[in-house]
Amino acid sequence: MKFDVFLSFRGIDTRRTFVSHLLLALFKKQFKTFRQEEEMPWNQPASTQVLEAIENSKIAIVVISKNYTASVSCLDELAKIVECEEKQSLVMIPVLHEVDPSDVLEQAQNLDGDINNNWETVERWRKALASMIKTYQQLYSHWEDGDSSEDGDTDAFIIFRVMLHVSKRLKPPEKMAQTMYYCHWMIPEKTGFLTKGIMLVRDVFRKIAGRIMYAEKLISVVNPSTPARSPAYVQKDKYVTGNELSQLVPSIDFDSLVGMDRQMKAVDALLLNMDSEEDGLGEMGICGEERVGKTTLARCVYQKISPQFQDHYYFEYQTAHSFGSTCLLEKIARAGLSAKVAVRPGEELERFDELVNANLGHRKVLLIVDIHLYDTGQLENIRNIARRFGPGSRLIYVTQSNRVLLKCGVKHLYKVETLRYDEALQLFSQFAFKQEHVPREYFRLSIRAVLITGRIPLTLKVFGSFLRGKTVSEWESELCRLEASQDNCVAKVSSYIGNAFS
């Protein structure tokens, strides 16, 4: 039988105190845990069943207490755990409960006088204890540096740290933030520990979100030589709206936009791959859900790469129905002309076509069209206009769904999704507190707010602005109202805030 966690402890020391609370926390998170139900005689070795359970566990939590080293079965368990850890088949999480590392090392030296066993077995136990202490010091050193008060040694704080580490190892990446968030509810506020827990969560967010939660990678879906109905490359990014026809994009300081640098690098990878493949017209699609940040990203892309082209155009449409291929062609045709061109009624398409062919047919052009594509005809009309451009030209579609893009054989797609949790907290803080980091007393509430908004940039900005200047009790009241309706939280936030502002 497989287990998530193996729990090694001395029952007479901790079964009814620390271990009972730790087991409850593991049970609440639905981690399958093995532990000895009955206390073993001090001189009885660990059973075959126990040793097999260690081999079949992903994590071993070792609770070292005053009498742990006086038990043969406990020492056998520890030796087996260290052996499995060295094979990298298990992760050991040591906990020192009311003992110091120096005490444990001293007990290790006295084992031969306390326990009547052969020299090889005792030496194996000593090495296991020394290895456990080394792991303990490596694992907890960065936490202990900040624990200058008594709260750092409370059972609640120790269990909280252990649960974070277990969750990091066992929970799917997408659920990490929720796991850290719900750990708060296990801890009584009267312990005075909550603030430290909040600081710890912020530290964990910052350190692991970029490495574990949503790492960018370029996924080769099919060989580029396959039929054009399938994309050759799909860039899917798990984290970070945009409109009548507009002119060229205003300048954007995208270095200051949360999460934008990460996304720009991913798009750059697609554009670089496109450059190596296509000398003619290169096409790319930026897609994603409503309000997720497609237009903002497209504007940043335009601002960054437009100097590489002889001519460049960016057009946005509020609705797909406001789009007309003749209108787009006219805008492009007139953009480079200093004088107004007279066009006879009924000859618009032919005249504009001539102007584009004459002025842009030999030039490298960038065209970005931000529109909700609902049929292939729209895309083909845009594509036919762009095909008039010279070699090396690029056409980027910005749209909600990738269905039409795939159907028309657009090979390069970048899917924009919600912000990472750490990015969402940073963006929310900018609008709720006008600073990069959330104040300690609001951190727990801010996590709840981020979860409610679905990590969508526009909703984070509006909700943060709405809560700015309110007291903790007012925050609690507003969040409770929204949390009561989680079936469509983003729509609920937008509706609720809209009513509050009106």
* Separation CA 219–CA 146 (nearest Å): 41
Centre a 10 Å sphere on the Cβ of residue 184 and count the other Cβ atoms it contains. Answer: 17
Strand stretches in 266-341, DSSP E: 282-288, 311-316
What's the pLDDT score for residue 419?
87
Indicate yes or no: pTM above 0.75: no
* Distances, alpha carbon 482 to alpha carbons 281, 393, 402, in Å: 48, 48, 31
Weakest mean pLDDT among 63-72, 178-187, 290-299, 423-432: 178-187
The overall average pLDDT reported for the chain is 74
Instruction: Identify each DSSP E strand in 340-420 by its residue range.
Output: 365-370, 394-399, 412-416
Mean pLDDT of 426-432: 92
How many Å is the maximal CA-CA distance in the chain?
108
pLDDT band at 229 (very low <50, low <70, confident <90, very high): very low
Q: What pLDDT score does 228 carry?
A: 33
User: Between the ranges 81-95, 163-177, 382-396, where is the mean pLDDT highest?
Assistant: 81-95
Confidence of residue 336 (pLDDT cuts 50, 70, 90): low
For residues 218 and 17, give the distance between their C-alpha atoms in angstroms, rounded to a whole number. 49
What is residue 291's predicted lDDT score, i.e. its pLDDT? 81
Q: For the ranges 45-59, 247-261, 333-347, which has the lowest average pLDDT?
A: 333-347
CA-closest candidate to residue 306, choices 390, 365, 266, 357: 365
pLDDT band at 249 (very low <50, low <70, confident <90, very high): very low
What is the structure's pLDDT at 360? Answer: 77
d(CA 255, CA 310): 25
The answer on pLDDT for 317 being more than 60 is yes
Contacts of residue 86, Cβ cutoff 8 Å, sequence gap at least 6: none
pLDDT at 329: 65
pLDDT-derived band at 153, boundaries 50, 70, 90: low
227 pLDDT higher than 60 = no
Quote the CA–CA distance of 324 and 317 in Å, as a whole number.
Answer: 10
Q: Indicate the range of 39-48, 234-243, 475-484 predicted with least confidence.
A: 234-243
Whether 48 contacts 42, CB under 8 Å: no
Q: Does the pLDDT value for residue 404 go beyond 70?
A: yes
Q: Is residue 95's pLDDT more than 90?
A: yes
Mean pLDDT confidence for 75-94: 93
| pLDDT band with cut points at 50, 70 and 90 for residue 6 | very high
* CB hemisphere CA count around 435 (13 angstroms): 6
